């Protein structure tokens, strides 16, 4: 028989999980707004949650915390990248919605393929700075793709055939990743405004 420690929170009877009662700052509101607002909410939610996890882990100065937070944090950042690229493809690719849905389904979770589709939306860079920026972003996307090609590596420790995903030790500076993700977030925001202007002027 399980020994219950009454000092610990314990599921002593069902109380319903998702409730709407409580204080004003205990709630999360979602499912409001249109397609674009909700899409943006997911993107921001994944990135900002990863930021908070990493900030708290670094502040804790606890190695065990850093070594476990890495998995949800990197998974959340990957979701941020995936949804950001898919948002561009969805909003700025020409054609009917059915064709866009088919394209997104084909891309699945493949960051490399998403990046190539995204690049098709972008006019040729006009100067060396743009070329340098685009190359840097591409390298970041492809680097993340190489470590997690199917959005699986940071969700599970094993493959479907029960092999360990990471067979050798790795070291990743989480603060550095967080800083780069902020750069990418700023980049995506700038590109979104740029493509929106081109679309409004019927150039894409």
> How does pLDDT run across 149-171, given as a tens digit for each residue?
999 999 999 999 999 999 999 99
Residue 15 lies in a domain: no
Query: Residues 11-16: contacts with CB within 8 Å, 24+ apart?
Result: none
Burial zone of 132 (CB within 10 Å; 0-12 exposed, 13-18 middle, 19+ buried): exposed
Residue 163 lies in a domain: yes
Residue 189 lies in a domain: yes
pTM across the whole model? 0.92
Residue 200, both tokens: 């409004």
Residue 17 lies in a domain: no
Residue 132 lies in a domain: yes
Read off the pLDDT band of 10 (50, 70, 90).
Answer: confident
The answer to whether 112 and 139 are in contact (CB under 8 A) is no
Residue 126 to residues 23, 46, 87, 150, 191: CA-CA distances in angstroms?
52, 32, 24, 33, 14
Q: What is the mean pLDDT of the chain?
A: 92
- pLDDT of 46 > 80? The answer is yes
Measured CA to CA, the distance from residue 59 to residue 127 in angstroms comes to: 40
Sign of the CA dihedral with 135 first, then 138, 180, and 204 last: positive
- pLDDT of 13 > 80? The answer is yes
Residue 18 lies in a domain: no
Measured CA to CA, the distance from residue 43 to residue 88 in angstroms comes to: 12
Residues 6+ apart with CB under 8 A from 83: 39, 42, 43, 46
In the chain, the number of structural domains is 1
Residue 54 lies in a domain: yes
> How does pLDDT run across 101-118, given as a tens digit for each residue?
888 889 999 999 999 999
Residue 10, both tokens: 């314990």
The single residue listed with the structure tokens 């006009």 is: 126
How far is C-alpha 193 from the chain's CA centre? 20
Residue 58 lies in a domain: yes
Residue 11, both tokens: 């599921």
Instruction: Please give the residue range of the domain that contains residue 120.
Output: 35-200
- Residue 203 has a pLDDT of 57
Residue 111's closest CA among 136, 75, 137, 148? Answer: 148
- pLDDT of 197 > 90? The answer is no
Question: Comparing 22-31, 51-60, 135-144, which segment has the lowest mean pLDDT?
Answer: 22-31
- pLDDT of 1 > 70? The answer is no
Residues 6+ apart with CB under 8 A from 59: none
């Amino acid at each position: 028989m399980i020994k219950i420690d009454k000092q610990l929170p314990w599921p002593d009877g069902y109380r319903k999980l998702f409730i709407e009662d409580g204080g004003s700052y205990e709630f999360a509101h979602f499912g409001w707004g249109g397609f674009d607002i909700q899409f943006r909410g997911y993107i921001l939610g994944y990135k900002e949650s990863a930021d908070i996890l990493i900030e708290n882990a670094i502040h804790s100065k606890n190695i065990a915390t850093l070594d476990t937070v890495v998995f949800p944090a990197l998974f959340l950042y990957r979701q941020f990248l995936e949804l950001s690229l898919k948002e561009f493809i969805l909003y700025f690719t020409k054609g009917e919605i059915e064709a866009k849905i088919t394209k997104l389904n084909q891309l699945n979770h493949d960051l490399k393929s998403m990046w190539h589709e995204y690049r098709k939306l972008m006019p040729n860079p006009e100067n060396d700075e743009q070329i340098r920026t685009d190359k840097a972003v591409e390298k970041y996307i492809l680097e993340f793709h190489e470590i997690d090609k199917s959005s699986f590596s940071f969700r599970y420790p094993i493959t479907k055939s029960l092999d360990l995903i990471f067979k050798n030790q790795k070291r990743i500076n989480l603060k550095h990743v967080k800083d780069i993700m902020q750069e990418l977030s700023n980049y995506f925001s700038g590109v979104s405004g740029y493509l929106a202007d081109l679309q409004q002027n019927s150039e894409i």
